[in-house]
Amino acid sequence: MKEEKTSASSLLDDVTDIIESVIFSVFIVLLIFTYLFRLSDVSGPSMEPTLKEDDRLVISPLFYTPEQDDIIIVDSSKLDKLIVKRVVALEGQSVNIDFEEGIVYVDGNPLDEQLYVPNEDGSEPELSAGHFVNTLTTADMGAFDSYPVTVPEGHVFVLGDNRNRSKDSKHAELGFVPEKEIVGKVIFRISPFSRFGTVK
């Protein structure tokens, strides 16, 4: 009888230890994905060809300070939704856009970007610039009366890589983005598996 009680007590202790381990593990995972990493899905074509519809992304929100050329997630109060864009300019920098030529200048220097044109066999072209853009920047969407513009303190200027299909800082409904609305930097794509890897 004593042995049966000891065995039952030992089994109960084992089950309790397993439950505690599971709860602790779930707690750690929640902490990691709340403070260190977050997941987000891409909706819409504004970042093509870099990001595509339904790409699942890993974001790093902790202690993030925006840098030029970062891809970020923004919780936009103006658009009332999460958006993904590329940081083109930081506070104090000047942005000029030549809509006839489709060229974006920051502090007088053209951005290091390459128009995405697949090879004749349909394969990916070789990237020789900082990043691809799907279209040149030829659509003035009314954010500003004229260019150049200077990014105000505590804000960034963002563009989508699919320039003429992106509601971004050149668009009248968005304009400059407050840094406080930046959720974090996109660092990794986890799906689809065929595009698994870091995001530039």
Which pTM value belongs to this model? 0.82
pLDDT in tens, 83-119: 999 999 999 999 999 999 999 999 999 999 999 998 9
Question: What's the pLDDT score for residue 195?
Answer: 86
Question: What's the pLDDT score for residue 102?
Answer: 96
pLDDT class for 181, splitting at 50, 70, 90? very high
* DSSP states of 146-197: SS-EEPPTTEEEEE-SBGGG--STTBTTT-SEEGGGEEEEEEEEEESGGG-E
Query: Which residues neighbour 47 within 8 Å (Cβ) at sequence distance 6 or greater?
Result: 71, 84, 85, 86, 160, 161, 162, 166
Residue 35 has pLDDT above 60, yes or no: no
pLDDT, mean over the chain: 88
pLDDT in tens, 132-160: 999 999 999 999 999 999 999 999 999 99
